[in-house]
Amino acid sequence: MSPKKRIAMHDHAAEASLFKRRALFTFLCVFVLISILLSNLYQLQVVSFQDYETRSNDNRIRVVPVAPSRGLIYDRHGQLLAENQPFYTLELIPEKAQGITESLDKLNEIIALTPDERESITERLRYHRRFKPLTIKSRLTEEQVATFSVNQHQFPGFRVEAGLKRHYPYEGLMTHVLGYVGKINARDRASLESSGQWKNYAATNDIGKQGIEKFYESLLLGKPGHLEEEVNNRGRVIRTLKVTPPTPGQDIYLTLDLKLQQKAMELLDGRRGSVVAIDPQDGGVLAMVSSPTYDPNLFVHGISSKAYSALLNDKSRPLINRATQGQYSPASTIKPHVALLGLEEKTITEKTRIWDPGFWQIPNVERKYRDWKRWGHGWVDVYSSIMDSCDTFFYDLAYKVGVDKIAQFMSQFGFGESTGIDIYEEANGIMPSKDWKRMRYNQPWYIGDTISVGIGQGYWTTTPLQLTNAATILANHGQRFTPHLLKSFKDETSKIDTPIDEQAPIVLDNDNNWEIINEAMRRTAHKSRFTDATYTAAMKTGTAQVFSVAQDAKYDSETVAEHLRDNALIIAYAPYENPKIVLAVVLENAGWGGVNAGPVARALLDEYMLRDEWKVEE
């Protein structure tokens, strides 16, 4: 018999329980996954909606910055000194052109393209997007623009675009005051990025490089606007959605007087030197000329290496602003200031007289310090010593006062430190003292050093601006202003005058000392250059040695190399009773101050004082 087969019995209850557990687990997994999906959908559609909408629009909408027009610069009478002129470029949109090579050949017949330009265009076309404009030629002349416009129908895809560039109508006349704008370089960009200002330059390639253009860059620049353009996935513009216009830069008005500036440049006539004139009533600079000069327009579009090298290597150094960076011995122009110190210290009085035999000696020292007048001036007092520029009187005075008191007193007149004028290019000059020499040369101070300082020679150097500022303080009887170039600026609604920076005055123990010194300067002017003037002036000339002459040697300008000849200087102001202008003239290697710088000062004061505006006041 065959064995009985086993019959399998199913546990339906267990199977049902297992099914339920598996179904529940599966349901929970599906629920969790759906929850995650819904959560992500909520995150994308609700929580992050704004973020993704912005990203989507950024892919669809392109923001193009629009450059503002740079603020204009005027003189005190509203004469335009720096403007914005249109410039034209010829552009090509490759996808709209019909036969680019043939078109360029035809274009060359009406607007000449150099071989280098043709090669550059061909090279750039290889990597250029066909729907974007490519610059073919920049800085088109008006004649070229007109010629192309007449023939434009023959050049599909070609167009002329206009922009604005800085232009200086008076070329080199104002260069060292206005400065210039130039292309933003890597150093400029790094500085702008570190200061957080780079966004303001998104639409422009230019920035102020020197002078007023640099100092007041924030006023002149303006704020960029923008265009919102709809583009496709390839970046091609479909339409313009929104235009936000730029805010133009603010126009500024300077204290400069254009006519006086022109007269000063005319009088210098290319000679190396400087003229600075100041309005003593507020410290405003009326004229600031440095000669020789150069045309700042060369830098606006980018100066060539050859042209820049020529300026850089020019022996006359036209790139230097002699008015604020040239450092010269003040020579006899500071004798009124030294005499004022002597009066204050009671080392001399109005009636003090000394005998000048033509030289002076330190007690018990053999060396003789020669007067410019070899046979001497005889008996001199404070008036005649300034009028005749007697060196011997000031040798003796400097010896008695000492260099430290001279340095301390002269620092009140601004010697040895920057004036604070509103351009960055300014030198401090040197106001020597015992401590200065020890720090600079690690050498002791000698009495002979003091004697040289007493007549504005030796280590003492000053800029023409400092010299004018010191003369202004003298003419104002101690009242001091910070020299400045900005008179006012014009915003969207009105013209706003800038505040005058008046410093604490110089207070003397005896106010009559101001009168003594200024009277001596009035007599000096009346005796020489201004005997026939219809106004009353005051002045002091100076002749500064560029190199030392041996004690027994005689200076002969005819045998000395031109660059070693004396510098000619003068300070002057008018009218004496109520000064309206103070000026300083420095002529390098010109020789005698009164003979060479004197006529320049007289002509400038005539130009300013004989105007109708003063006649009306009188």
**Span 265-277, average pLDDT:** 95
Over 60: is that where the pLDDT of 58 sits?
no
Are residues 382 and 358 part of one domain? Answer: yes
Which residues, at least 6 apart from 76, have a Cβ–Cβ distance to it below 8 Å? 253, 254, 255, 256, 257, 284, 487
Are residues 378 and 277 part of one domain? Answer: yes
Of 211, 238, 254, which closes a domain? 254
Are residues 133 and 269 part of one domain? Answer: no
Please report, for the domain that includes residue 361, its CATH number.
Answer: 3.40.710.10
Of the residues 103, 291, 332, 452, which is catalytic?
Answer: 332
Please report, for the domain that includes residue 88, its CATH number.
Answer: 3.90.1310.10
Q: What is the mean pLDDT of the chain?
A: 87
pLDDT tier, 616 (very low <50, low <70, confident <90, very high otherwise): very low
- Report how many domains make up the chain: 2
Over 70: is that where the pLDDT of 7 sits?
no
Are residues 204 and 339 part of one domain? Answer: no
Are residues 137 and 273 part of one domain? Answer: no
Which pLDDT belongs to residue 552?
54
Which pLDDT belongs to residue 3?
55
- 69 is annotated as an active-site residue: no
Q: Is 401 among the domain residues?
A: yes
Rounded to whole angstroms, the Cα distance separating 402 from 450 reads 7
Rounded to whole angstroms, the Cα distance separating 320 from 309 reads 14
Rounded to whole angstroms, the Cα distance separating 84 from 72 reads 7
Which residues, at least 6 apart from 485, have a Cβ–Cβ distance to it below 8 Å? 177, 212, 254, 255, 256, 284, 285, 288, 421, 422, 423
Q: Is 422 annotated as a binding residue?
A: no
Domain that holds residue 438: 258-311+321-617
Task: Give the three-class secondary structure for 50.
Answer: helix
Q: Is 19 among the domain residues?
A: no
Are residues 222 and 120 part of one domain? Answer: yes
Are residues 228 and 105 part of one domain? Answer: yes
Q: Is 48 among the domain residues?
A: no
Which pLDDT belongs to residue 547?
53
Of all residues in the chain, the percent with pLDDT exceeding 90 is 53
**Span 5-18, average pLDDT:** 68
Which pLDDT belongs to residue 186?
85
Q: Is 450 among the domain residues?
A: yes
Residue type, 245: P
Are residues 507 and 369 part of one domain? Answer: yes
Of 254, 279, 297, which closes a domain? 254
Burial 326-350 (b: 16+ CB within 10 A, else e): bebbbbbbbbbbbbbbbbbbebbee
Q: Is 29 among the domain residues?
A: no
Which pLDDT belongs to residue 590?
82
Are residues 269 and 247 part of one domain? Answer: no
Are residues 295 and 161 part of one domain? Answer: no
Which residues, at least 6 apart from 461, have a Cβ–Cβ distance to it below 8 Å? 327, 328, 329, 330, 429, 430
Of 3-7, 106-110, 150-154, 502-506, minimum mean pLDDT range: 3-7
CB 268 within 8 A of CB 322: no
Which pLDDT belongs to residue 313?
92
Higher pLDDT, 127 or 425: 425
CA distances from 259 to 155, 253, 263, 601 (A): 49, 15, 6, 15
Which pLDDT belongs to residue 550?
47
Which pLDDT belongs to residue 189?
87
Higher pLDDT, 246 or 8: 246
Rounded to whole angstroms, the Cα distance separating 337 from 515 reads 12
Q: Is 390 annotated as a binding residue?
A: yes
Nearest residue to 422 via CA among 220, 579, 267, 235? 220
Reported as a single tens digit per residue, the pLDDT across 279-336 is: 999 999 999 999 999 999 999 888 888 888 999 999 999 999 999 999 999 999 999 9
Q: Is 182 among the domain residues?
A: yes
β strands within 416-492, DSSP E: 480-481, 486-490
Q: Is 13 among the domain residues?
A: no
Q: Is 29 annotated as a binding residue?
A: no
Percentages of the chain per state (helix, strand, coil), in multiples of 5: 40, 20, 40
First to last CA, the chain: 157
Over 70: is that where the pLDDT of 613 sits?
no
Nearest 5°: the CA angle 266, 301, 62 is 145
Are residues 553 and 504 part of one domain? Answer: yes
Q: Is 17 among the domain residues?
A: no
Strand partners, 89: 161
Reported as a single tens digit per residue, the pLDDT across 212-244 is: 999 999 999 988 888 776 766 555 666 777 778
Over 60: is that where the pLDDT of 154 sits?
yes
Q: Is 377 annotated as a binding residue?
A: yes
**Span 187-204, average pLDDT:** 86
Over 70: is that where the pLDDT of 197 sits?
yes
Of 254, 281, 298, which closes a domain? 254
Over 50: is that where the pLDDT of 488 sits?
yes
Are residues 280 and 248 part of one domain? Answer: no
Of all residues in the chain, the percent with pLDDT exceeding 70 is 90
CB 380 within 8 A of CB 388: yes
pTM for this one? 0.82
